[in-house]
Amino acid sequence: MSLISENPILFVKHTCPFSLKVRLYLLEAGLLDTVTLRESRTPEEEDAMKEELAPHVAKVSYPTLRLGDSYMTESDDIIAHFVAEGGPSPSQLPTFEAYVDGPFKQLLTLHKENAELKRA
């Protein structure tokens, strides 16, 4: 028996809104069991995950999808990958859409405002 998982590996950070976006897509699409989920929940786990990913990507960011030897580091690209593989379009997933149009959008706005205030 091979110990190597054939599933794509999804690396996520527990509290990351971009990671939650991809997880929610997979959950509502019924595709969560098609990936191996690797989640960091503590600073120690984050450090270990960063060390593991750093040799393979220009900049470590979450979520990251590992597909064999290639790595995708943009949440929208990751979702587009699953759609291209036959997954449902995000517009067919009301809970996903509610998250993206509501809390996710608000978090991005707050994040941008915060960055601008810091620059001022």
Ligand X SMILES: N[C@@H](CCC(=O)N[C@@H](CS)C(=O)NCC(=O)O)C(=O)O
Residues that bind ligand X (CB under 6 A): 13, 16-18, 60-63, 74-76
Nearer to ligand X, 6 or 97 (CB): 97
Pick 8 or 17: Cβ nearer ligand X: 17
Q: How far is the CB of 4 from ligand X (least distance, A)?
A: 26
> What are phi and psi for residue 103, nearest 5 degrees?
-55, -40
Q: How far is the CB of 13 from ligand X (least distance, A)?
A: 6
Q: Closer to ligand X by CB, 2 or 10: give it.
A: 10
Residue reference for tokens 């393979």: 56
Q: What angle do CA 69, 26, 104 make, to 5 degrees?
A: 105
Give the nearer residue to ligand X in terms of CB position, either 29 or 72.
72
Alpha-carbon span 11 to 120, nearest angstrom = 34
State the nearest-atom distance from the C-beta of 63 to ligand X, in Å.
Answer: 6
Do 75 and 21 touch, CB atoms closer than 8 A?
yes
CB of 74 to ligand X, least distance (A): 5
Q: Are 35 and 10 in contact (CB under 8 A)?
A: yes
Distance CA 91, CA 84 (A): 14
